[in-house]
Structure 1
Amino acid sequence: MLLNARLARRAVVGVIGTGAVAGAILVGTAPSALADQPPNCTAADLAGVAAGVSAATSAYLFTHPDVNAFFTGLEGAPRDQIRTQVQQYLDYNPSVRSDLQGIRQPLVDIKNRCGAGANLPGS
């Protein structure tokens, strides 16, 4: 079960493009840029939001076994095939798309609010 959760988490994170760790590193290595940032836009803030998004994604997958099985089944597929398959799956399952977008929204919001969206992977 742990292996399936790990695979599913890895697939979803790649698919929805959180990029939080890389973003935290980018923000954390640019102290002069941080001085110009609004409050609550530190690497720690971004990592905290990303952790919440990750936990919510995990909970969603555990409570939606069919979605979990789909994303778990993507493990090992080439990246371009994953994108196509996910796009098709989400097109046929708009409620899943909406749910995952809602889960990811806090990460989108902090990137937009902090002005770092253009610098962070997955934006």
Structure 2
Amino acid sequence: MKSASRRIGRVAAVVLGSSILSSSGVLLGSMGTAAADPIPGCTAGDVTAVMTGVSASMTTYLFTHPDVNDFFTSLQGLKKADAKQQTQDYLSANPQVRDEITAIRQPGVDLRNRCNIPLKAEIAGVI
């Protein structure tokens, strides 16, 4: 049971790392501008709510698509560059999966665009 928990945790880290880094960057970045009024819908609570929704949707998707879950699980232990390349190759070979994951992540993209959150806060190319 312990290894299954670790495995799920690692998969979540690979798949959701970019979302977590994005929201962390926003939260830390907004601390420095406490005097300024936040853009509507861009408070720390808003960011957390959106990223929670994205994470929940991605979790459901992975558990209902075991082949995709298995692929992302197989990335465990790889160097970031290797995981990135394999992910790009997999998504290129599976455009429906790519489109479904893109749709799941879209609220996070919309949030970044609306709230001026820089893309450099993400792990480039990994989901």
User: Could you tell me the TM-score, scaled by structure 2's length?
Assistant: 0.83
Determine the C-alpha separation between the residues in 1 that align with 2:26 and 2:120.
5
Listed as ranges, the matches of 1:10-29 within 5 Å are 10-14=13-17, 17-18=18-19, 19-29=22-32
Query: 1:5 deviation in Å?
Result: 2.1
Q: Percent identity?
A: 36
Q: How many residues align?
A: 118
Determine the C-alpha separation between the residues in 1 that align with 2:44 and 2:85.
32
Listed as ranges, the matches of 1:31-110 within 5 Å are 31-32=34-35, 34-35=36-37, 37-110=38-111
Deviations 1:70-114 (A, max 9, x none): 101101100000010000000000011001110000011011112
SS in 1 for 2:121: coil
Q: 1, 4, 8: which one pairs with 2:7?
A: 4
What is the CA RMSD across the aligned residues, in angstroms? Answer: 1.8
Determine the C-alpha separation between the residues in 1 that align with 2:50 and 2:97.
21
> Structure 1: which 5+ residue stretches go unaligned?
none
Query: 1:120 deviation in Å?
Result: 6.0
Paired AA for residue 102 in structure 1: A
User: Could you tell me the TM-score, scaled by structure 1's length?
Assistant: 0.86
Query: 1:119 deviation in Å?
Result: 6.7
Does the 8 Å CA contact 1:24/1:44 hold for their aligned counterparts?
Answer: no
SS in 1 for 2:104: helix
